[in-house]
Structure 1
């Protein structure tokens, strides 16, 4: 991402101050940042493409419990953005409310649908509490503070509780403790990265026997590790699919050799990005 001498890096993210996206970006860049807060992932992509608004963006692509966010692959496919990095964030969900309350005071719990899903076992123990889906975890916490909502709790990250002066009344309520979200760092410019050891390829195939297996066999012949394979529909063609394959490698020149070979085995092929394999925080 570009950074001028005077300005901070401007990162477009989905969510608001105190969100998991914000935390992931802070850890990835480890620099002073300014954020472009977006309501939707579509807005993140648009802001990331506009150099007047941002220097790029960061968005979630999959969760170890909830799975892949398929619409985000569609957004990447329809954009000119490249993946230039990734980071894995361990997700700890906290139940928070205005200070002085306990779980017995809570009548409603507000949060993003994915956060609610990640806390199903805890929520089953409190069937009388109404669940309200919102657009963002941190925004739910912010609303409680701004509107001084007693009897209402939010599921969000610990950072949100600190920012909005809320009290955590039930910590770490996620069902599965090894709960991780993978975030992609996206940018209009794909630069050569000498540290790159991972890449994401997007391709489509003709409807012929063994077309997919031929691609996977070719990747295997290069001794690359396939860390993910994902299909999603080609909206313009019924029952046709794009595939995204994440591969890990040692030499980037071998990646380009593979791409040249795969051009003859696919009907369309695009390098979504080459980047350094992400760390877990």
Structure 2
């Protein structure tokens, strides 16, 4: 059965690629903001869930998305690690020497700056990589290229003038697959979990929690601190844990409960790598 999944971005975006990679049969719902993704993903009448970027191997964590997750009733049921490959796209029959401008999202332009600086092109920042591709297709631009995915090239009948123009080839974005808590089933062979907790901020309180995790022979693959809104320089912590069995994970949770405040498990799922 086809899943209806909310994503941030437009047709041909990397979020769409991530959704297609995770789900065998998917209909995407395009959203302009991550807040809208969470809102629609949480509405059981509108969707079956959502896909939301949470971190990039170069740019780091997307902190506002942790806050959105914290305030939602969504569960993490999976993750996707997608290699970000940027390509120079143009309309058919357009050659490299015809290009005067290159349009794309600011992050995409930055990721390809070493290649772009070799040419005397005007760089124009836009809202979205895929939307840039769509615009040059719609306007039949003869002197404008876009930086976007191969999916965008296929969707908008564009040629890939130059593939893989990004500077750093080891560029991955991690996406979370989200589902309403009431609909989230237990994942078979789960070996990873994401959780959030606070400590009392006394001396060594965080170290005590991390020691219990280590003693449980669980790998702490990520620890992200975030300011608690309205607090006086206090922080909550998001942790990703990797384990061999659910019993191992459950034991660690029981051991850290007395050392933490507001402990919340966002999801138990399969490692996407």
Q: Secondary structure at the match of 2:147?
A: strand
Question: Match of 1:239?
Answer: 233
Structure 1 unmatched runs, 5+: none
1:117-266 matches, within 5 Å, as 117-126=110-119, 128-189=120-181, 190-266=184-260
Structure-2-length-normalised TM-score: 0.94
Q: Secondary structure at the match of 1:191?
A: coil
Shift of 1:25: 1.1
Q: Secondary structure at the match of 2:259?
A: coil
Q: Secondary structure at the match of 2:201?
A: coil
Structure 1 segments of 4+ aligned residues over 6 angstroms from their partners: none
Shift of 1:110: 1.6
Q: Deviations over 1:98-135 (max 9, x none)?
A: 12223332222221222222212112223x42222222
CA distance in 1 between partners of 2:236 and 2:127 (Å): 28
Change beyond 3 A, Cα 1:173–1:238: farther
Q: 1:268 aligns with which of 253, 262, 269?
A: 262
Structure-1-length-normalised TM-score: 0.92
Shift of 1:208: 1.2
Shift of 1:95: 0.8
Structure 2 unmatched runs, 5+: none
Change beyond 3 A, Cα 1:130–1:205: farther
Q: Deviations over 1:180-204 (max 9, x none)?
A: 1111100112432231100011112
RMSD: 1.5
Q: Deviations over 1:142-201 (max 9, x none)?
A: 111112223221111011111101111121001111211111100112432231100011
Question: Match of 2:42?
Answer: 49
